[in-house]
């Protein structure tokens, strides 16, 4: 029997068929286990969310209780004359400051007010409410006679009869509020002093945007789930479907949930199996409901099935080893050797060799592997050396391309300077040129420190300043840490040359070149900015991408990318008449 036949027969019988049967059984079992566990987890999330809601809203409830015995509010309302407008305005400022002390630190609160029939105090936002005492919110607070009333989400336009806001996009369109009728009193010399019966008791109103509850649920419930928050009258306070907010949500199964108050249940809704978890808030009486499709949980089974299948395969391999020890020994020995050698080769060790001690199919395979490894090692070495030489030659060619171009421009400038200035500054210019030629004529064209590059630029600017008779000035703003890191030689020259020859060609004076340098996010950035005439977008594209244009700039970009990679280079930003900004991007470490 051939190796192929023995391998297929052994593993088909001992592993493939049992795995197929057991995988099916494990899939169904895992589905049930995961579904039950997910049901418990979602229920715990709903309970936790309700605890968070009660904690957040409970802070406002506690703060509102403190207002009952606030001495300052007592004194304001006991002395306030509703008919005097100046007193109302002054009282509004005082009351706003008092309410801010209690509620401004709560980021969830949208607005806090005290409503009376004659004035709305402490409005923290410009809410066009008209007469709020005509609203259902105010009437509910009066009926509660001092108890906190949690009014479910409502449409601001309908509640306060402001139809003119219908076409506007207002952020306070949907709010829910906590209201309480305040009957002030305070202790004075161990005596409880109450507000005069003739004084109108204000209604405290704390308003929240409905999105406060949305943010809590959207971040916590499983993907594919939807949620509802219902008040005792089945009004939707918050939910996944924004269309349902403020509307009634009447379902028979919700009535059954209200009897128990908290729990979880699996049911079919709209023809789909769902897990429904619910919990009622102790503070507001609102019920939070999360509905999760069972199908959304199937994706979580994949890790369970994979782990179970691997474990079963290992057990079956052990059983198969007992029955086919000698056959498997002959099969796995050479395979292990070959796998070990392949792993070493994959890590870059091309000198790995496998010992060949047999003449069957495995022996031939191991011999071929050794030959293949020798060939790969030879090809990698040859390819690496060729690429290295090509890169060195290309860098050298690019660097050599810079010298004649620059020397021609420099000698031309010196010629014009000698003619126009009657050779008065020729000595200084020759010294500068000598330094520049010494800098550019080195045999080794590796990277240089920034200080060397800046020194060369100063010589260059001296020559150019003399040539153009003070048409421009230069300013440096460079982070000192950059002086310790090397960069390509003649990095700035093509860009400052373009600024002087083209950017300032229509200026008589006042030109400014600013050279900046800074580090950011493991990168170095250098900026050459001028206040010249600017460059159009078409010209920028021509400079960067058309072959005949700007040899110096193309040379610089090529050197940067060959030295550091394609993710680094040069960006040009300019508009006609607004100057030009060139940003050079280099890695922080070289």
pLDDT over threshold 80, residue 290: yes
Render pLDDT for 200-233 as a digit per residue (tens, 0 to 9).
899 999 998 888 888 888 888 888 888 999 999 9
Confidence of residue 573 (pLDDT cuts 50, 70, 90): very high
pLDDT at residue 202 in the model? 92
pLDDT at residue 586 in the model? 93
pLDDT at residue 278 in the model? 92
Lowest mean pLDDT among 249-263, 417-431, 477-491: 417-431
pLDDT at residue 399 in the model? 59
Confidence of residue 145 (pLDDT cuts 50, 70, 90): confident
- pTM score: 0.49
Across the chain, what does the average pLDDT equal?
A: 81
Higher per-residue confidence, 380 vs 560 = 560
pLDDT at residue 376 in the model? 78
Tell which residue, 99, 53, 83, 89, has the closest CA to residue 203. Answer: 99
pLDDT over threshold 70, residue 106: yes
Helices (H), 67-187: 71-79, 85-103, 136-144, 156-159
Lowest mean pLDDT among 98-102, 265-269, 329-333: 329-333
Confidence of residue 411 (pLDDT cuts 50, 70, 90): low
Render pLDDT for 428-451 as a digit per residue (tens, 0 to 9).
676 677 667 666 666 566 788 888
How far apart (Å, rounded) are the C-alpha atoms in residues 455 and 69? 76
Answer for the pair 147, 180: CB distance below 8 angstroms, yes or no. yes
Backbone angles phi, psi at 130, to 5 degrees: 65, -130
pLDDT at residue 415 in the model? 65
Answer for the pair 203, 67: CB distance below 8 angstroms, yes or no. no
How crowded is the C-beta side of 452, counted as CA atoms within 13 Å? Answer: 17
CA-derived radius of gyration, the chain: 41
Tell which residue, 546, 551, 501, has the closest CA to residue 400. Answer: 551
Higher per-residue confidence, 3 vs 170 = 170
pLDDT over threshold 80, residue 271: yes
Domains and CATH numbers, the chain: 48-296 (3.30.450.20), 421-587 (3.30.565.10)
pLDDT over threshold 90, residue 580: yes
pLDDT at residue 277 in the model? 92
For a pLDDT cut of 90, what percent of the chain falls above it? 14
Render pLDDT for 502-517 as a digit per residue (tens, 0 to 9).
888 888 888 999 999 9
Lowest mean pLDDT among 270-279, 375-384, 495-504: 375-384
pLDDT at residue 552 in the model? 80
In the numeric block, the tokens 């199908």 are attached to 295
Render pLDDT for 17-75 as a digit per residue (tens, 0 to 9).
776 777 677 767 777 777 788 788 888 988 898 888 888 888 888 888 888 888 888 88
SS3 content of the chain, % helix, strand, coil (to 5): 55, 20, 25
Of 182-191, 437-446, 531-540, give the range with the top mean pLDDT: 531-540
pLDDT at residue 559 in the model? 85
* DSSP SS3 for 556: helix
Confidence of residue 279 (pLDDT cuts 50, 70, 90): very high
pLDDT at residue 442 in the model? 61
pLDDT at residue 572 in the model? 92
pLDDT at residue 421 in the model? 72
pLDDT over threshold 90, residue 477: yes
Range 519-528 average pLDDT: 92
């Amino acid at each position: 029997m051939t190796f192929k036949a023995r391998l297929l027969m052994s593993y088909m019988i001992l592993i493939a068929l049992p795995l197929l049967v057991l995988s099916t059984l494990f899939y169904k079992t895992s589905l049930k286990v995961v579904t039950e566990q997910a049901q418990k987890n979602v229920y715990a999330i709903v309970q936790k969310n309700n605890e968070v809601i009660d904690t957040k809203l409970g802070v406002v409830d506690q703060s509102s209780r403190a207002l009952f015995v606030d001495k300052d509010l007592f004194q304001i309302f006991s002395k306030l004359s509703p008919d005097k407008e100046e007193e109302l305005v002054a009282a509004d400022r005082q009351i706003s400051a008092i309410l801010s002390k209690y509620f401004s630190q709560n980021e969830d609160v949208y607005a806090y007010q005290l409503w009376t029939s004659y004035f709305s105090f402490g409005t923290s936002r410009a809410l066009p409410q008209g007469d709020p005492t005509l609203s259902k919110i105010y009437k509910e607070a009066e009926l509660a006679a001092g108890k906190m009333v949690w009014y479910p989400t409502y449409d601001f336009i309908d509640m306060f009869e402001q139809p003119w806001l219908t076409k506007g996009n207002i952020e306070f369109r949907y709010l829910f509020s906590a209201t309480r009728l305040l009957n002030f009193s305070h202790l004075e010399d161990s005596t409880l002093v109450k507000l005069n019966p003739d004084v109108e008791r204000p209604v405290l109103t704390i308003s929240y945007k409905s999105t406060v509850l949305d943010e809590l649920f959207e971040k916590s419930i499983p993907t594919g789930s939807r949620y509802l928050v219902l008040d005792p009258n089945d009004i939707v306070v918050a939910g996944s479907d924004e269309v349902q907010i403020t509307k009634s949500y009447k379902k028979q199964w919700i009535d059954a949930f209200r009897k128990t108050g908290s729990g979880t249940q699996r049911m079919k809704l709209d023809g789909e199996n769902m897990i429904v978890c619910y919990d009622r808030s102790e503070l507001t009486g609102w019920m939070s409901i999360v509905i999760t499709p069972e199908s959304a949980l199937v994706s979580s089974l994949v890790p369970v099935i994979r782990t179970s299948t691997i474990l079963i395969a290992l057990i079956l391999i052990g059983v198969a080893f007992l029955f086919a020890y000698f056959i498997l020994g002959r099969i796995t020995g050479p395979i292990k050797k070959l796998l070990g050698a392949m792993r070493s080769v994959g890590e870059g060790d091309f000198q790995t060799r496998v010992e060949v001690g047999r003449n069957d199919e495995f022996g031939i395979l191991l011999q071929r592997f050794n030959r293949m490894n020798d060939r790969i090692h030879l090809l990698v070495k040859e390819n690496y050396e060729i690429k290295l030489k090509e890169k060195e030659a290309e860098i050298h060619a690019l660097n050599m391309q810079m010298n004649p171009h620059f020397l021609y421009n420099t000698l031309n400038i010196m010629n014009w300077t000698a003619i126009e200035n009657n050779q008065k500054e020729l000595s200084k210019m020759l010294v500068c040129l000598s330094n520049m030629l010494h800098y550019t004529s080195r045999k080794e064209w590796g990277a240089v420190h920034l200080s060397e590059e800046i020194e060369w630029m100063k010589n260059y600017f001296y020559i150019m300043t003399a040539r153009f008779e003070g048409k421009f000035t230069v300013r440096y703003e460079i982070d000192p840490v950059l002086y310790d890191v090397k960069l390509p030689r003649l990095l700035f020259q093509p860009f400052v040359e373009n600024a002087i020859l083209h950017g300032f060609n229509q200026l008589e004076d006042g030109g400014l070149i600013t050279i900046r340098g800074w580090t950011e996010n493991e990168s170095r950035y250098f900026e050459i900015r001028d206040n010249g005439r600017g460059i159009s977008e078409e010209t920028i594209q021509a400079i960067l991408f058309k072959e005949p244009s700007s040899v110096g700039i193309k040379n610089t970009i090529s050197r940067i990318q060959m030295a550091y990679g394609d993710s680094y280079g040069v960006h040009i930003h300019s508009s006609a008449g607004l100057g030009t900004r060139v940003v050079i991007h280099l890695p922080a470490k070289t």
